[in-house]
A and B are shown apart, each in its own frame.
Chain A
């Protein structure tokens, strides 16, 4: 089992390395000179040359790549072409703000999704199940910004005006000091992520409920509550863990649109701004950051899968 996990780990490392090359090649394709972009058209040739030297732009390509890659490990993401400041300073608070959003969305959507999916499976074919599957089918189809705007029109501008639709924390204060501003962005993410968890949970739960051991437990007179909580649910959770991981990984990219919609001062908003300004250093750093989250979450799900799967457990001994 340990061997399998180590193999999986090394695959993830290689994938991240290739992604980093892919992301770095993007700089090469970009027309224009980063030093010129930072200093502007009026810069003197001497200053340009000095900055180029400082940014290592005169070095050969491979050396620049290694320098950039080494910088990623120690938190040095380079210099932003748009602001002239360091990318790490620009992103510091934003990473925390985005994590708050992701963790809150995951903490709500995973348990609620599992509960609704289980409920739906238990009431298979009845009205409650039809409502749950129908709503999750519709929600799964809707793009995230459509859900977000629907919530804004419902709760903040047109129907009820109870919740703020934009995040406006004064500079220096943290977003979580204003919990009411977090409600709509988090709710949007929850509604985007949850349908997949509900559907997967319902499918696996139905499979488990039809299985021999659940019938056995029922036949020998185990109370229904215990059948569900002790016998059925733990077996249905394992495949759902995969879907949960995919959804968590999706959150890493999905926050981009939601943050832009609610003007939330997080990583996603920074990414959109950077793309609009063609600020390559920032885009590269964020793409790597998001890819890293994505790969690590998937790795984690696979490890959970390896650990919980008895077949793979014995396979590792050989």
Chain B
């Protein structure tokens, strides 16, 4: 029975995966969560002067006063304005870091799996070294040397993601590489990069999508954490992680400056994790039906 189903299933796999994801309730909740925060982060800076009457760095009054909708922050700036302005950099940096990590990780993982031998062991041993330092400690080391700048944060988070992604890619790709269609491409003397890009990559999208979601969640957390430590985004930039750091001394007096960004980051990461989990389930059922 299943043997007859198999060919139609594999052909229908790409649209089926997306439909399988959307069909899950938790994916829809996750999409809604992430969508709301992305909307706030993207539209916030555009709405800024006319919605609240202030820009995010303008001083509106004395510190920690209940003026305006959510009050003022540690330097007397409008909390709502800073909140609306503070999400976009976090999202963009997280996306860039994730993209960099995915690019490096998939390339290294596929090469290691396809090439095997010496290159494989060099890449995987290099991974082991990078994995011996916790991500945050690696980032702090880089920031000590290069200073707390945006590109340093993006670069270091991307690079520390890469070995983790490479491991997943390698194990997924090594299952594909033994297939006959790869042998066929090799016999037609298709260039190596073309085999990796056109034959291997499309067959490992499932695990890569799960990894993409996971790494995006971790990038958001890592970049927000660095800003929270005062070592990511620098004042007077409006940034959610930095806002938490600046306003947490007055948590009893004026909690909104902390609660708003904390809630936003929480909803965002929970949303993207729900989506990732749904993708993982969907691609697992695709694998099973193969």
A contacts, CB < 8 Å to B:
11, 15-16, 18-19, 22-23, 26, 29-30, 137-138, 140-146, 149-150, 152-153, 157-158, 165, 249-250, 252-254, 256-257, 260-261, 271-272, 274-276, 278-280, 283, 286-287, 290-291, 294-295
Contacts and interface: CB of A to CB of B under 8 A. Distances in A.
Interface string B200-217: 000000000000000001
A295 B132 contact: yes
Given A23-B141, A137-B273, A141-B270, A150 B136 contact: no
B128 interface: yes
Given A142-B266, A278-B144, A287-B137, A257 B129 contact: no
A142 B264 CA distance: 11
Interface of B: 128-129, 132-137, 140-141, 143-146, 217, 220-222, 224-225, 228-231, 244, 248, 251-252, 255, 258-259, 262, 265-266, 269-270, 272-274, 277
A259 B210 CA distance: 31
A22 B144 contact: no
B133 A143 contact: no
Given A19-B129, A287-B133, A275 B140 contact: yes
A271 B226 CA distance: 13
A138 B217 CA distance: 12
B232 to A, nearest CB: 11
B221 A143 contact: yes
Given A141-B272, A280-B144, A153 B259 contact: yes
Contacts of A138: 270, 273
Given A153-B255, A271-B140, A280-B144, A290 B128 contact: no
11 contacts: A18-B129, A143-B222, A144-B225, A253-B137, A257-B228, A276-B230, A276-B231, A287-B141, A290-B133, A290-B137, A291-B134
B143 A275 contact: yes
Given A22-B129, A137-B273, A278-B144, A145 B228 contact: yes
Which 8 pairs from chain A and chain B are nearest by CB? A253-B134, A141-B273, A143-B221, A141-B269, A141-B270, A157-B252, A157-B251, A18-B129
A254 B266 contact: no
Nearest to B265: A146
Contact of A257 (B136, B259, B265): B136
Nearest to B253: A157
A158 B272 CA distance: 28
B255 A158 contact: yes
A246 to B, nearest CB: 10
A26 B97 CA distance: 22
Given A287-B137, A291-B137, A149 B258 contact: yes
B144 A283 contact: yes
A256 B140 contact: yes
B265 A291 contact: no
A290 B137 CA distance: 8
Nearest to A26: B145
A152 B221 CA distance: 19
A271 B136 CA distance: 11
Given A15-B128, A287-B133, 17 more contacts: A26-B144, A141-B270, A143-B221, A143-B265, A145-B244, A146-B265, A146-B266, A149-B244, A150-B266, A153-B259, A260-B229, A271-B137, A272-B230, A274-B144, A278-B144, A290-B137, A294-B133
B135, B229, B255, B273: most-surrounded residue (chain A CB, <10 A) = B229
B255, B258, B266, B274: most-surrounded residue (chain A CB, <10 A) = B266
A86 to B, nearest CB: 19
A291 B137 CA distance: 9
B33 to A, nearest CB: 10
A271 to B, nearest CB: 6
A143 B136 contact: no
Contacts of B258: 149, 153
B132 A143 contact: no
B231 A250 contact: no
A149 B141 contact: no
Nearest to B263: A146
Contacts of A256: 136-137, 140, 229
A137 B277 CA distance: 9
Contacts of A295: 132
B144 A275 contact: yes
Contact of B129 (A15, A141, A150): A15
A201 to B, nearest CB: 17
Contacts of B265: 143, 146
A5 B221 CA distance: 36
Nearest to A161: B252
Given A141-B270, A142-B269, A146-B262, A272 B231 contact: yes
A271 B225 CA distance: 14
